Amino acid sequence: MRSPVAMTPEVRAALLEGRAVVALESTIIAHGMPYPQNLETALRVEQTVREGGAVPATCAVVRGRLCAGLGADEIEDFARKGRSIAKASRRDLGYLVSTGSNGATTVAATMIIAHLAGIRCFATGGIGGVHRGASATFDISADLQELAHTPVAVFCAGAKSILDIGLTLEYLETFGVPVLGFKTDDFPAFYARSSGFPVSYRMDSPEAIAQLLRAHWGLGLHSGVVVANPIPQPYALDGGHIEEAITQALADAEKERVGGKELTPFLLARIEQLTGGLSLKANIELVCNNARLAAQVAWAFATSNEGGA
């Protein structure tokens, strides 16, 4: 039976040999940043993973195939086409496969592809979560349910600042998802290093994180694990300034009746305008920072005494 995931020869070989592999999402390419910053960032993140001793596997749906690993030409195609490519979460995968379409994978869809391929570590910018006002809108990201039952470690700069971070953490706790803080006791808030909410456990080395991952999954626990990695201090933005921009962006979204899967890209683009481009610079740096840590942990996981991919 044909594998549901197409892999580049490099990714396939690395997995067969038990070497470190890090999954990367493609929504950040098509929907998260403008061209050409999206292309430059995608290639820089892949290089960062390589420098950390792991093989990058950018995930996407390409002509109806789930892909773990894209060629440079495919990454450029996604970057140039941008938002004309469908944003793909769990509910969209069957449709895209059945119609032979392209899809830029979100955190949830990338976790699915990574798991099917046998990749344990995945680096992104920030996870989705419970949106502000969700008590009225029920707008809760599919990322949270994916974390509840898909055994992949997600390396992120916390949850996106546009979310209700407190409720997001409560949701993760309810479904038994460990939230680790890398060298921090405080859950980061994407652009800002601190959200004011605690993590489940603080971890101070990639080796310690790899050991926890192996123990968690070795016990037969099938949830994902959030590894929260604060944005580097030089690129962190002032929490008050970001909150003002978020408040304005949310008001603009309501005025223009933007919702559903279009809400997050709209808000991020509007915040970039309101911060004079500072949020985009911060976004790029935090993604690279997460990719660096994910590669280190993937290497430690793969080279531990018991081996494994």
Active site residues: 25, 160
- CA atoms within 13 A of residue 88's CA, in its CB half-sphere: 32
Rounded Cα–Cα distance for residues 282 and 27 (Å): 17
Which letter, b or e, does each residue of 95-132 get, where b requires 16 or more Cβ atoms within 10 Å of its Cβ?
ebbeeebbbbbbbbbbbbbbbebebbbbbbbbbbbbbe
Residue type, 109: A
Rounded Cα–Cα distance for residues 278 and 237 (Å): 8
Residues in contact with 251: Cβ distance below 8 Å, sequence separation at least 6, in sequence order? none
Residues in contact with 61: Cβ distance below 8 Å, sequence separation at least 6, in sequence order? 67, 88, 93, 96, 97, 101, 102, 103, 105, 109
CA distances for 126 relative to 141, 161, 163, 242, angstroms: 12, 9, 11, 15
Residue 174 phi/psi, 5° resolution? -55, -35
Rounded Cα–Cα distance for residues 204 and 56 (Å): 24
Kindly give the interhelix angle for 278-302 and 37-51, rounded to the nearest 10 degrees.
30
CB contact at 8 A, 30 and 38: yes
